A and B are shown apart, each in its own frame.
Chain A
Amino acid sequence: KAGVTQTPRYLIKTRGQQVTLSCSPISGHRSVSWYQQTPGQGLQFLFEYFSETQRNKGNFPGRFSGRQFSNSRSEMNVSTLELGDSALYLCASRTIDGAQYFGPGTRLLVL
């Protein structure tokens, strides 16, 4: 089975712009979660989607949003980018027993 894929792998944006990141889960997985990884804050949970519904949300401002499509692919959007949004954004899809499998991540740099 193919693993979790994320596109693009690298992005450079400027402050005030918006960005959309994409994640395709492992085939058959219906749950997709997003995480932000920074040197200062470590790994933090953003949100989780299951069957096109947001089931859980972390403590991030409303500029961070997401959605999931009927084929389980998910997108994450960040509007009005700030310098502090520079991070590695990881997507994970979940098996029935709770284990989450991560994609390679999208590295976002905000200038």
Chain B
Amino acid sequence: AQSVTQLDSHVSVSEGTPVLLRCNYSSSYSPSLFWYVQHPNKGLQLLLKYTSAATLVKGINGFEAEFKKSETSFHLTKPSAHMSDAAEYFCVVTFSGGYNKLIFGAGTRLAVHP
């Protein structure tokens, strides 16, 4: 069965320090992986996507993620957090046999302190 596990429900960092949001997936098929961000009372915004091209994926707002097949991981990183990064982040997987059904992780709430 396909699933996504976000290892931390809450992450707190200081402004200017690195961000690491962890995600592991389980998929019997070749997965496509995404990170989405949701600010309070807003819809979901696509940060970046992995679709079997380069394993290091760069997204918007300075975020990037690395697909590691051996570890079944797709962790999201950013070198320096900004106050505006405070939001909920979702790791998402879909697979070639599932048409376009997205499977969401439970989310990680990122807090950024001054």
A interface vs B, CB < 8 Å?
4, 31, 33, 35, 42-45, 48, 50, 55-56, 58, 90, 92, 94, 97-105
Contacts and interface: CB of A to CB of B under 8 A. Distances in A.
Contacts of B98: 56
Given A56-B101, A97-B51, A103 B107 contact: no
Contact of B104 (A43, A55, A98, A99): A43
A31 B107 contact: no
Which of A42, A43, A50 is most buried by chain B, counting CB atoms within 10 A of its CB?
Answer: A43
Given A90-B43, A103-B43, A105-B43, A98 B107 contact: no
Interface string B22-43: 0000000000101010000011
29 contacts: A4-B43, A31-B100, A33-B101, A35-B102, A35-B104, A42-B106, A43-B102, A43-B104, A43-B107, A44-B104, A45-B102, A45-B103, A48-B100, A48-B101, A55-B100, A56-B100, A56-B101, A97-B49, A98-B32, A98-B51, A98-B94, A99-B34, A99-B46, A99-B49, A99-B51, A101-B46, A102-B36, A102-B44, A104-B43
Contact of B100 (A33, A102, A105): A33
Interface of B: 32, 34, 36, 42-46, 49, 51, 90, 94, 98-104, 106-107
Nearest to A105: B43
A45 B79 CA distance: 32
B10 to A, nearest CB: 14
Contacts of A97: 49, 51
Given A97-B51, A102-B43, A105-B43, A55 B34 contact: no
